Amino acid sequence: MPTVLYEVKGNYAVMTISRPKALNALNSEVLNDLNAALDAIDFSTVWALVITGDGAKSFVAGADIAEMSTLTPEEGEAFGKKGNDVFRKIETLPIPVIAAVNGFALGGGNELAMSCDIRLCSDNALFGQPEVGLGITPGFGGTQRLARLVPKGIAKELIYSAKNIKADEAKAIGLVNAVYAQEELLPAAEKLAAKIAKQAPIAVRACKKAINEGLDVDMDKAIVIEEKLFGSCFKTHDQIEGMDAFLTKRKEKNFINA
C-alpha cells in the first residue's frame, strides 16, 4: 500500500499522506513515497497542489520517533537531509502548494506545512516543534522556516520550549492564513487551489519563483529577478489571451500554460 495518495481533480491535485496507524508520521518509506509522488506530477496539466493528511485527527505527527531512536550522528544527519531534500522539492515545486492541515502538525508535520506556499487548517489543528523534548533539534527545516515565517522571538519561544499551539494562535502569529471547521477545510483548500489554477499558470509560477528567490537576496537583486520574470511573460499565449480578454471585455479565458 502506498503511503502517499494522489488524485488529480481538473487542473489541481490533492496529495494525501496516509499512514494512519502512526498518525501519518514520516518514516523513510513515507518520505520515499512523497518524493516519488512529487516527481510524478505532470506540471503541464496540474497547476496547483493541495497536501493533506489521512483521517480526521492528524496532518502529520512528525518524523518517525521509533525509526530515529537508534540513529548514529551520521545517520541522523542523513535522515535530516532526506527530509530536507523532499521538503525543499515542495518549496521549489513550480506550482503553488497549499497545506490543508487537518489535525496534528508536530515536528516534521509543521515542517512539511511550512515548506508549502500557503497553510490553511482545521479548528482541531495543533502546531509545534516538540523536538527538544526528545533530545534533538527540528531536523526537516523547522529552525529555518519557522524563524522566517513568524517573528523570530516567537519562533525561538516555540522551538526552545516545545510548546504546542492551537489553530487560533497559529492564525494570530501568521503561521496559517485561515481556520475552518474540520469538514470545511478540504473543500476550502480545493476551492483555493481551483481559483489559483484558473489564473495563467506561467504567471503564477513566475510569481512563486520571484517571491521565493527574491526573498533570498537584497532588494536591488530582488527587483531584477522580478523584472526578468515579468518580461518572460510577454508574447506568451497566456499573456496575449489574458490581456485580449480584458480589452475585448470577454469573461472566459483560455489559458494553456504556454
Active site residues: 111, 131
Using rule CB under 6 A, residue 158 touches ligand CAA:
no
Nearer to ligand CAA, 44 or 137 (CB): 137
Neighbouring C-beta atoms of residue 231, cutoff 10 Å: 10
In sequence order, the 6+-apart residues with CB closer than 8 A to the CB of 139 are 63, 76, 79, 80, 83, 84, 108, 131
Binding mask 119-148 for ligand CAA (x = CB under 6 A): -----------xx--x---xxx-x------
* Residue nearer to ligand CAA on the CB measure, 67 or 241: 67
Residue nearer to ligand CAA on the CB measure, 96 or 128: 128
Containing 17, the helix (H) or strand (E) segment is strand 12-17
Q: Binding-site residue total for ligand CAA (CB under 6 A)?
A: 22
Q: Which of 59, 56, 48 shows the shortest CA–CA distance to 17?
A: 59
Cβ atoms < 10 Å from Cβ of 61: 24
| 104 near ligand CAA (CB under 6 A) | yes
Residues 107, 122, 201, 204: which binds ligand CAA (CB under 6 A)?
107
Q: Least distance from C-beta 76 to ligand CAA, angstroms?
A: 9
Nearest to 77, CA basis, from 25, 139, 160, 27: 139
Choosing from 46, 87, 93, 108, the residue that interacts with ligand CAA (CB under 6 A) is: 108
The footprint of ligand CAA on residues 59-88 (CB under 6 A) is 61-66, 83
Helix H or strand E encompassing 180: strand 178-180
From residue 242, alpha-carbon distances to 12, 14, 185 in Å are: 20, 27, 31
Residue 117 or 131 having the CB closest to ligand CAA: 131
Query: Site mask, ligand CAA, residues 16-55, x = CB under 6 A?
Result: ------xx-x------------------------------
The Cα–Cα gap between 249 and 232 comes to: 25
Q: For ligand CAA, which is the closer residue by CB, 138 or 242?
A: 138
Q: Which of 200, 105, 193 is nearest to 145 (CA)?
A: 105
Q: Any idea which residue has 494570530 for its cell?
A: 172
Site string for ligand CAA, 223-242 (x = CB under 6 A): --------------------
Candidates 60, 52, 49; CA nearest to 93 is: 49
Footprint on this chain of ligand CAA (rule: CB under 6 A): 22-23, 25, 61-66, 83, 104, 106-108, 111, 130-131, 134, 138-140, 142
